[in-house]
Amino acid sequence: MSEGGLEAPSRHPLDWHNPEFYDEAKIDAEMRRVFDICHGCRRCFNLCDSFPRLFDLVDASPKGEVETVDSKDFKSVVDACTLCDMCFMTKCPYVPPHEFNIDFPHLMLRYRAMEARRGKLKIADRELAKTDRNGRLARYIAPLANWASDRKHQWIRRLIEKWMGLDRQAALPEYQSQTFETLSKDAIFEIDRGAPAKGRKAVIYATCFVNYNEPDIGLAARAVLARNGVETEIVYPQCCGMPLLEQGNIAEVAHAAKTVAAALRSWIDKGYDIIALVPSCALMLKFEWPLIVPEDRDVAALAKATFDVSEYVVDIARKEGLAPGLAPVASDGVALHVSCHSRAQNMGPKARDMLKLIPNANLQVIERCSGHGGSWGFKKANFAPALKVGAPVAKQVAKSGKAVVTSECPLACAHIAQELEKEAGQLPRRVGHPIEILAQAYGLR
């Protein structure tokens, strides 16, 4: 295999049941092998903070080579990785099937899995990853929780920073008193039986963020799909486990995969498509879970049946055609950020394609990392690097002069909005997800 080959990248299943997967000496040897290749290549220098940290370590070492970097210093490189997969998907010429067999994100995951097995995870990080528990509890005290997390109350945020490690300047997501599941039961979505896509059936996998933090994204998706004749159901057994994956807790991710896949299998067998509302969750269902539990047939079936919500709408448009009634919106235009986990799904810029279905769409498409990376960007140790990585995105949005900024990743969108606070001039209106703009174009609430 030569550099620049035309074969599609492929990923190996994670060998996390093997004791050698957690062996410190073997991990160190593999990191040195991979880092030496990265040091000689340096194509990923502008993707995230992991690579500048690595190259600085090598350049400052006695011989300017990986062999003279102290192993303990590798942790800073690991800690800067957000598992965005962009190095694997867009930059690295040495991914499988190349003989160098480089999978940088999964190597960082392996290191974290070793740390997790040794009990090195901080209590605060473990508790933050319990998104379903946190969401269920917070809904009962949502106004109080949101008041306490407001950046205006710096004395409380200093306490939160000390106890939970969340930077006092980071804009944290708000919780809602009613979940997406609850609101969906009371909302009426009249299915248009005359729409070209009539007869389609889909289960919406709510995701923890939409369910507890931004249910309007889910309501907009259901409204748009109903307008296009799609019958939808809401099924949410539990979180996909992405926050656990970020910490290297692979066993719990495997448990989540089996639980969710088993709950959705009966719907798949009845002919329902599965739609994920957040790209990180779609990535888990489509790609990460099959690499963690490759033997599970329910997981394999789910991976084949899953669509990102933007991907699903574009699929309708291409196969049956969208229902009429779309009207122009945001005359001053939309700055659309294509999230890393959307790009990692290898499906193309589907949010762009979806918004272009709106008459007179005036888009500025930005394909660069926002710097957020799930809960990573909220943390005190990472908040400044997150702003640094995402600064070029904010500058592009500000320069575009668009009236609206949106992203397929609602967390990334909020982070971009915070980065824009540092830019002078009129701030664009933030819309959590492009599907909400499509709903607006249909005149749907």
pLDDT in tens, 333-350: 999 999 999 988 989 999
- Rounded to 10 degrees, what is the CA torsion of 80, 376, 133, 259? -50
* Rounded Cα distance, 334 and 361, in Å: 8
Q: % helix / strand / coil in the chain, to the nearest 5?
A: 55, 10, 40
Kind and range of the H or E element at 429?
A: strand 429-431
CA distances from 354 to 250, 259, 272, 339, 363 (A): 34, 31, 22, 15, 11
The tokens for 309 are 């919500």
Please state the pTM of the whole predicted model: 0.93
pLDDT in tens, 55-113: 999 999 999 999 999 999 999 999 999 998 989 988 899 999 999 999 999 999 999 99
The tokens for 211 are 């369910």
Cis omega (within 30 of 0) for bond into 93: no
pLDDT of res. 107:
97
Domain residue ranges in the chain: 19-117, 123-164, 180-319, 334-441
Whether the pLDDT of residue 5 is over 70: the answer is: no
Candidates 301, 240, 230; CA nearest to 265 is: 301
pLDDT of res. 48:
87
Q: What count of other Cβ atoms lies within 10 Å of the Cβ of residue 177? A: 12
Give the total residue count for the chain.
Answer: 445
Whether the pLDDT of residue 1 is over 70: the answer is: no
> Which residue type sits at 116?
A
- Rounded to 10 degrees, what is the CA torsion of 83, 85, 86, 87? 90
pLDDT of res. 16:
97
The tokens for 103 are 């999978």
For the four alpha carbons of 195, 199, 200 and 202, in that order, the dihedral sign comes to positive
Candidates 377, 383, 384, 412; CA nearest to 397 is: 412
Cα-only R_g, the chain: 22
The topology under which CATH files domain 334-441 is: Rossmann fold (3.40.50)
The pLDDT of 35-45, averaged and rounded, is 93
pLDDT bucket at 272, cuts 50 / 70 / 90: very high
The topology under which CATH files domain 180-319 is: Glutathione S-transferase Yfyf (Class Pi); Chain A, domain 2 (1.20.1050)
DSSP line for 5-54: --SPP--PPP-TTSGGGG-HHHHHHHHHHHHHHHHHH-TTTTT-SHHHHH
Whether the pLDDT of residue 219 is over 90: the answer is: yes
Spatial strand order in the sheet of 231-235: 231-235, 201-205, 273-276, 306-308
Give yes or no for a contact between 253 and 245, defined as CB atoms under 8 angstroms apart: yes
